[in-house]
Amino acid sequence: MPRYIIDEAALRRNLEILKSVSNRAGVKILLAQKAFSCAAAYPLCAQYLAGTTASSLFEARHGHDNFGGETHVFAPAFAPEEIDELLGLVDHVVFNSPRQVEKFGAMARARGVSAGLRVNPEVSVATTLAYDPCRPGSRLGTTRAAWDAAAGDCHHLIDGLHFHCLCEQGLDELKKVLAGFDAKFGNLLSAVKWVNFGGGHHITRADYDVDGLVKLLNDFHARHPHLEVYLEPGEAVALNAGTLESRVLEIQPAGPDGISNAILDASAACHMPDVLEMPYTPRIAGAAICRKPRTAPGEPQAAFIYRFGGPTCLAGDEIGTYRFDHPLHEGDIVAFEDMAIYSMVKNNTFNGVNLPDIAIRHEDGRIETLRTFDYEDFASRLG
């Protein structure tokens, strides 16, 4: 304890939705490994998806070796000492700037790797500044002005265009971004072979307009029939397909606000860092997120409200406040929902807190432990 549990049945449900979009719209959908990179689940994912995307040499190798299919890579800049090995692993390489094209575009073409350019449509739709690649001063993507100002001898090295502007968003936001992309870069599309719509598409969310997405993609195809179209969602692949189980270590007496602190063996800082980075409050099975524990001054505090915190010394290692319909006790297990995405790939061992086990619940209900961690994983990491 604690442990992440990947739900194989939920994962397959997501994959079936994505495959239906791929089939109905004639597009290729890739797994963005930055959100979900559990190799044990790759054979299942590979039945439905066309390949993987990566943002580093190690991610590219992971997708190439364990997933198969197409391997795509993008980074804000590539290291010269890694580019040769990287080009031996990937089918597509997406450069972030004309300078990167000048440095490595000819090398990619000589290796038979299709080269693309990440563009910035300058349409901000992401609601969290840290996740908005189109915000002023962004280092991600090339604006049309920057591309037009670049030396013309690198333009011919580009086979495709890539934009990524969304973050956990739906069709309406995609329509806005695509309109901006068409306005800024549409006249370049006749000279390229493919376009990548990036990630951040919450396609498998219950309220997502999947039929509308298929129509938008088919309309785009009708306007540009020569283009191959890619999407690379990460969250949508494993959305709501995993939990993080945690144990209550201690419950402190209620403070002046009437709320008891419950100390868990799971940490926001270590095991679900997006809770602090986004920030957001994760759902818990059987509990309600309590955003306003006291509705009016002097009003009696409702029973069974707990502020969950982790075992680290970080004062801000707090997960959220929750209302239960029963009291919690030491040793009780709570299950945080939607923890297959980002949590596992971003976790860490701050304060020497061990990493959770990783398990998978198979479709027959059997739970298999895939990986456990110990002191050596912590001690060897920093040499």
Residue 154: pLDDT band with limits 50, 70, 90: confident
Closest CA to 248 of 260, 235, 262: 262
Measure Cα distances from 279 to 37, 245, 276, 316, 318 in Å. 22, 20, 5, 12, 11
- Cis omega before residue 279 (within 30°)? yes
**Higher confidence at residue 118 or residue 131?**
118
Rounded to 5 degrees, what angle do the CA atoms 309, 312, 313 make? Answer: 105
Is the confidence at residue 318, as pLDDT, over 60?
A: yes
Mean pLDDT across the chain, nearest whole number?
A: 95
pLDDT at 256: 85
Tokens of 60: 């590219």
At 136, the pLDDT band (50, 70, 90 cuts) reads very high
3-state SS of the chain is CCEEEEEHHHHHHHHHHHHHHHHHHCCEEEEECCCCCCHHHHHHHHCCCCEEEECCHHHHHHHHHHCCCEEEEECCCCCHHHHHHHHCCCCEEEECCHHHHHHHHHHHHHCCCEEEEEECCCCCCCCCHHHCCCCCCCCCCECHHHHHHCCHHHHHHCCEEECCCCCCECHHHHHHHHHHHHHHHHHHHHHCCEEECCCCECCCCCCCCHHHHHHHHHHHHHHCCCCEEEECCCHHHHCCCEEEEEEEEEECCCCCCCCEEEEECCCHHHHCCHHHHCCCCCCECCCEECCCCCCCCCCCCCCCEEEEECCCCCCCCEEEEEECCCCCCCCCEEEEECCCCCHHHHCCCHHHCCCCEEEEECCCCCEEEEECCCHHHHHCCCC
In whole angstroms, what is the distance from residue 314 CA to residue 263 CA? 13
Task: Tell me the C-alpha distance between 228 and 238, whole Å.
Answer: 25
Nearest to 361 by CA among 29, 40, 35: 40
Q: What percent of the chain has pLDDT over 90?
A: 89
pLDDT tens across 56-115, in order?
Answer: 999 999 999 999 999 999 999 999 999 999 999 999 999 999 999 999 999 999 999 999
pTM of the model: 0.94
**What number is the average pLDDT over the span 315-330?**
96
With both helix axes pointing from N to C terminus, report the angle between 210-223 and 8-25 in degrees, rounded to the nearest 10.
30
Q: Judge whether residue 20 has pLDDT over 80.
A: yes
Residue 112 burial (CB < 10 Å; 0-12/13-18/19+)?
exposed
Of the candidates 29, 31, 53, which has an alpha carbon nearest to the alpha carbon of residue 213?
29
Taking only the tens place, the pLDDT of each residue in 192-221 is 999 999 999 999 999 999 999 999 999 999
Band (pLDDT 50/70/90 cuts) for residue 1 is: confident
Find where tokens 């993080």 sit: 244
Name the class of domain 242-339+347-379: mainly beta
Residues 294-311 have pLDDT tens digits of 545 555 556 799 999 999
What confidence score (pLDDT) does residue 127 get? 87
Angle between helix 80-87 and 57-66 (nearest 10): 10
Confidence category of residue 151, pLDDT binned at 50, 70, 90: low
Per-residue model confidence (pLDDT) at position 239: 98
Per-residue model confidence (pLDDT) at position 295: 47
Q: What is the pLDDT of residue 298?
A: 53
pLDDT of residue 297: 54
Separation between Cα atoms, residue 104 and residue 83, nearest integer Å: 8
At the fourth CATH level, the homologous superfamily of domain 8-238 is: Alanine racemase (3.20.20.10)
What whole-number distance in Å separates Cα of residue 287 and Cα of residue 26? 41
Q: CATH 3.20.20.10 in the chain, residues?
A: 8-238
Going by pLDDT thresholds of 50, 70 and 90, the confidence category of residue 272 is: very high
Burial of 109 (0-12, 13-18, 19+ CB in 10 A): middle
Residues of the chain with CATH 2.40.37.10: 242-339+347-379
pLDDT tens readout for residues 219-251? 999 999 999 999 999 999 999 999 999 999 999
